[in-house]
Copies of this chain bind each other. A is one copy, B any other.
């Protein structure tokens, strides 16, 4: 595919001019970050002398403790947050032409172009720079973070003497002067460390290999950064140098006009999980840059075959949906020890924490496109089950587990419990994802070894923390929690939470009859599980409903609050949480995000369309979408309710959130859950896909702006593609034998490689 057709098909994110504004550059560093779920390099320039923004190098799950301070501290408040930290930067170079260092402070940039190739997950840049003395060089770079070798990133950096012959110095370095962004007054970003986050305790150099080893100050985690630098294309000498700020190999060459000096960097990061990273780096070098890149690109080609959504007739949205799936796929931890943070691996917003975003927003995308990844995300929760058990005890519950609202290592990091620990729905969200995973994959082995154990413990928590309320005819009630909407905190009977708990416990009860082959531990849990109580809860759980307005109430007292006057709130007062005291927000009917409406999507078959319509109409008017988790859900519901115009508007806001920087904070990282929401917007929204009793149903609606769209779905080891046009929908079973689906309410049986076209 040539470049222009690639652009047209939405595979490229080009940057055609050099904008030195820090905010702009930092935003593009985020958008152009490359990672593989283990290692991440933000999209900053290679040159140490041109750092306009925030060069970030991260390992997923690699964190430092940051002490949490409280004006008043109470029992059960976490002592520390965990913060994803910025590590030494392995991609850095310094280029000097006849003694003149390439920077933007001097000389002239005659040509600049950079592009992220979404399809191949590579970042390329081409620059022509004229030094103050008139020497012109062309600098071409390309880099990737390997999708097949998780420890590896590769980079090629070429310098060509265009109009002169002369001395070139190219320094390949590991930059050590890196730290995290500090930010004081925005609760959404940043921490300030008192002390060095990490210290280097060893620098190793042998021929073309540099290695720095370091350790964090408080969490005492160790890392190694091993880089092999290979220079070619012109005769050169190499020397090693080291300061507090860097470890370098400096190549000196003399280029004849038209000659090129090339540097290949084989950059390997590990957290002491490799036997011999130096051997590994040398082995990678042996394979060579092009081979490694080809292997990487082949992985991505296959990934796209499993997940690509094609949108015809709306290039900006085609680009956006691919961009979003690209970031999700490259950011997600794939080893069961790490997860996917709210900002992917692209920035330091939310301190790199994992939230419910994973289970409710991102797992559906992975589950239907790359189910093994969805399993690993659930395994992360399984692997932190013991910490969730301790946390439940800390919160006074003598049974069950309580997962942290935000975490990296499994311990709670939320410093503001009303919009943190109080969001107990995280438990129901994880249970929901377990059920969804099982329904989509039919993976009994997972349920037998991990899923049911989690599910029972997740349910035990509700069973000891909820109460049969004598003030409500002994209905089962859940009190003093916060639902998804963080503009109303510490409420009784949050509709979302209670609905999800009903669903979760109902599923747990059903699982008891599945004849799972359980290990002794889970058998004991089953024996202790109070099935009768569970059934009572399912029967009697309280779902707040207003007879007066015929709508579900977000919580018991929601309709008692006055409605916030959104129409007369100045634009510069959004997001509200940055401008109003929590008490002011909590006293009003105003929502940060979907709450009732989200429950009605996730538990779609339990509510009538008329009920959904009334609830949607009510809550849409009072929802600010100040959270990026909101517009995608509203868009899907609007679609279900037949309001395609509203749905499409929501969809644009969702799909292009980061590309257009709608929230003005892409510089701190992408909005991963929202990106997954843009996938749901196509599949759950326009295609109307739902899963009921293990059967996929579709109710397609084509946005009038599009001519067609298509996507693959993986279910029960089968692969289905769906192509939706104005007048027909084509279903093709590409893998697996028969699959029964439901199209507009009617069952359809698909057989392998036979397309079925339906109106």
Contacts and interface: CB of A to CB of B under 8 A. Distances in A.
A587 interface: yes
Chain B CB within 10 A, most for which of A70, A72, A477, A561: A72
Interface string A551-577: 000001101111000000000000001
Nearest to A395: B581
Contacts of A420: 72
A185 B77 CA distance: 11
A240 to B, nearest CB: 42
Contacts of A578: 75
A645 interface: no
A587 B480 contact: yes
A416 interface: yes
A399 to B, nearest CB: 14
Residue in A71, A72, A414, A421 whose Cβ sees the most chain B Cβ within 10 Å: A71
A582 B467 contact: no
A70 B72 contact: no
Interface stretch (A1-9, A468-476, A594-602): A468-476
Nearest to A578: B75
A469 B81 CA distance: 41
A578 B74 CA distance: 7
A564 to B, nearest CB: 10
A422 interface: yes
Contact of A490 (B419, B471, B490, B581): B490
A336 interface: no
B72 A587 contact: no
Contacts of A81: 71
Given A557-B479, A587-B480, A72 B421 contact: no
A380 interface: no
Contacts of A582: 74, 76, 417
Nearest to A546: B471
B581 A76 contact: yes
Contacts of A193: none
Interface string A231-246: 0000000000000000
Interface string A536-549: 00000000001010
Interface residues of A, number: 56
Given A70-B69, A76-B580, A480-B587, A559 B416 contact: no
A472 B395 CA distance: 33
A114 B581 CA distance: 52
Given A69-B70, A480-B586, A581 B472 contact: no
Interface in A180-216: 184-185, 187
B72 A415 contact: yes
B71 A70 contact: yes
A71 B69 contact: yes
Given A421-B583, A586-B490, A557 B560 contact: no
Interface string A47-91: 000000000000000000000111111111100010000000000
A394 interface: yes
A492 interface: yes
Given A74-B577, A583-B421, A584-B395, A470 B548 contact: yes
A396 B581 contact: yes
A111 interface: no
A133 B421 CA distance: 65
Contact of A71 (B74, B416, B556): B416
A560 B469 contact: yes
Contacts of A577: 74-75
A621 interface: no
Nearest to A76: B581
A395 to B, nearest CB: 5
A549 to B, nearest CB: 9
A560 B75 contact: no
Contacts of A218: none
A562 B467 contact: yes
A506 interface: no
A415 B583 contact: no
Contacts of A416: 70-72, 74
A418 interface: yes
Contacts of A531: none
B480 A583 contact: yes
Given A472-B560, A581-B396, A582-B417, A587 B479 contact: yes
Contact of A556 (B422, B489, B557): B557
A395 B581 CA distance: 6
Nearest to A413: B71
Residue in A395, A415, A469, A471 with the greatest tally of chain B CB atoms within 10 Å? A471
A755 B615 CA distance: 73
A318 to B, nearest CB: 38
Nearest to A468: B562
A414 B539 CA distance: 43
B579 A75 contact: yes
A572 to B, nearest CB: 13
Contacts of A584: 76, 395-396
A79 to B, nearest CB: 10
A422 to B, nearest CB: 6
A480 B418 CA distance: 13
Given A479-B561, A490-B586, A187 B394 contact: no
A69 to B, nearest CB: 3
B395 A583 contact: yes
A73 B560 contact: no
A185 B73 contact: yes
B396 A557 contact: no
Given A396-B584, A479-B561, A557-B479, A415 B75 contact: no
B68 A71 contact: yes
A561 B467 contact: yes
Contacts of A586: 480, 490
A540 to B, nearest CB: 14
A639 B259 CA distance: 102
A581 B75 contact: yes
A470 B559 contact: yes
Contacts of A69: 69-71
B467 A71 contact: no
12 contacts: A70-B71, A73-B187, A74-B582, A75-B580, A75-B581, A76-B583, A394-B581, A470-B560, A472-B560, A479-B557, A480-B586, A556-B557
> What 10 A-B pairs come out closest when comparing CB atoms?
A71-B415, A76-B581, A69-B69, A396-B584, A72-B187, A72-B416, A68-B71, A480-B587, A469-B560, A471-B560
Given A72-B414, A73-B184, A467-B561, 5 more contacts: A74-B582, A75-B581, A417-B582, A422-B583, A470-B560
